């Protein structure tokens, strides 16, 4: 892994995040891939835990953050989400390291979102809150990833100032199979909205799931229904196509306003 970090065997792919209202791409999530010199393409499920155990996650995490910020400079207006391992977040110099990378790459902080997994074992909630605020004060957003998959969900929502909540893929995958998951999703969306958070649904694969989630009030979608994770160059071409289409479409008419004067409607 150490050698691979030096040799450039790690790279990023990006999965689009889609606005629920008009289905445009409003964000991307950076996902790490390892082309292992012997084993070939290796998924994060097989290497993130090893990177965490060996202590290499800090170096890998910094690489991911820097590369995502560099790539995102080519995508004006798009938010780039980066996964942060609990080990990285535990480091007291973490906010400083993030701000340094933003300054070096020149990406506006408001275009970066950090995803903290719900499996984060926060020992000191006050310290975690202080770190989040240090980043949020500069405009960086913080999302709670895989919401509902861990044990501390509600406690985290009560104590930590998240900007976004990502509904775990597990619940989305069960939408069509029963009313229990539908009820849970409704509850998650109302909690998120009541706390003023943006809600994204992960793992959206079918039209039925999309329809259900839209009606339930989810703000954005991520999943194979819209796109698998793709290379940075593919994100650039899709954004260009999206912009070209937006220029072709007629601008929506200004809302009809009616003035009422002494002579009636005018």
Nearest residue (CB) to ligand C2E, 63 versus 129: 63
Render 65-98 in DSSP notation, one character per residue: HHHHHHHHTTSTT-EEEEEE-HHHHHSTTHHHHH
Nearest residue (CB) to ligand C2E, 228 versus 263: 228
210 binds ligand C2E (CB under 6 A): no
44 binds ligand C2E (CB under 6 A): yes
Comparing CA positions, the residue from 82, 128, 119, 123 lying closest to residue 102 is 82
43 binds, among ligand C2E, Mg ion, none (CB under 5 to 8 A by kind): ligand C2E
CA distances in angstroms from 26 to 64, 109, 141, 200, 235, listed in the order given: 20, 16, 14, 12, 11
146 binds ligand C2E (CB under 6 A): yes
Binding residue count for ligand C2E, defined by CB under 6 A: 24
50 binds ligand C2E (CB under 6 A): no
Residue choice 17, 25, 28, 32 for contact with ligand C2E (CB under 6 A): 32
Residue choice 95, 229, 232, 239 for contact with ligand C2E (CB under 6 A): 229
Site residues (vs ligand C2E, CB under 6 A): 15, 31-32, 43-45, 48, 64, 83-85, 115, 117, 145-146, 169, 202-205, 222-224, 229
């Amino acid at each position: 892994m150490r050698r691979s970090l030096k040799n450039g065997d790690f790279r990023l792919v990006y999965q689009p995040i889609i606005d629920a209202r008009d289905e445009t791409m409003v964000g991307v999530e950076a996902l790490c891939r390892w082309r292992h010199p012997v084993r070939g393409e290796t998924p994060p499920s097989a290497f993130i835990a090893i990177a965490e155990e060996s202590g290499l996650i800090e170096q890998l995490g910094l690489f991911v953050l820097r590369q995502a910020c560099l790539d995102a400079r080519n995508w004006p207006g798009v938010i780039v989400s980066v996964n942060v391992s609990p080990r990285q977040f535990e480091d007291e110099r973490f906010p400083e390291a993030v701000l340094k990378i933003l300054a070096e790459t020149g990406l506006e902080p408001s275009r970066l979102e950090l995803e903290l997994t719900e499996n984060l074992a926060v020992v000191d909630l006050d310290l975690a809150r202080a770190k989040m605020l240090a980043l949020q004060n500069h405009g960086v957003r913080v999302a709670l990833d895989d919401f509902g998959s861990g044990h501390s969900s509600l406690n985290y929502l009560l104590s930590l100032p998240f900007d976004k909540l990502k509904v775990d893929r597990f619940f989305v995958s069960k939408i069509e199979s029963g009313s229990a998951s539908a009820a849970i999703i409704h509850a998650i969306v109302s909690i998120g909205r009541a706390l003023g958070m943006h809600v994204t649904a992960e793992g959206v694969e079918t039209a039925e799931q999309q329809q259900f989630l839209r009606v339930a009030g989810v703000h954005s979608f991520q999943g194979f229904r819209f796109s698998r994770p793709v290379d940075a160059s593919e994100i650039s071409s899709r954004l260009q196509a999206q912009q070209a289409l937006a220029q072709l479409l007629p601008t929506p008419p200004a809302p009809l306003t009616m003035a009422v004067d002494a002579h009636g409607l005018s």
